Amino acid sequence: MPSEIWLHRCCAASPPTSSFPICPHCGSMGTYQALKLSLVEKMCAYAVRFGLKPVGLHRPFADQIMLPLVERCPRCHGVGVLGMPGTRSVRCPVCDMGCSIPKVSDEEFQLARQTVITCYPKAATPGWRPLSERTGGRKVM
């Protein structure tokens, strides 16, 4: 479950951002900033985005090959989910919780993914489908 990030500019004793809406030092209300994924959620987003396991010897090579092919999702601003304070967050309909969208065609993206899998066969995430298939071919806003 993504956590809410709150900005506190009330006192020097408080860190600038926190997951608590009320400053623990002075009790004033912070300003809502955004949602933030946990480490495990970020790992899941990586698997959703690339169809590759988020941890392993393949990761540096995979990042070198795959990261240039994507850009931050314009709808969720790279968070992967949408929501407001106190509401249930939902998967972003544009990136499907992948936090980014491809800058290249499905064919180019899958060819790059296959390059990683050819070098590191155990890196593949079973059952992965490209973003265009998971979102029903919806185009970015």
Q: pLDDT tens for the chain, 141 residues: list them.
A: 778 888 888 877 667 777 788 888 888 888 877 788 889 999 999 999 999 999 999 999 999 999 999 999 999 989 898 887 777 788 899 998 899 999 999 999 999 999 999 999 999 999 998 888 887 765 544
pLDDT at residue 137, as a whole number: 60
Cα–Cα distance between 10 and 124 in angstroms, integer? Answer: 47
Tally of CB atoms within 10 A around 103 = 11
pLDDT at residue 141, as a whole number: 43
Tally of CB atoms within 10 A around 25 = 13
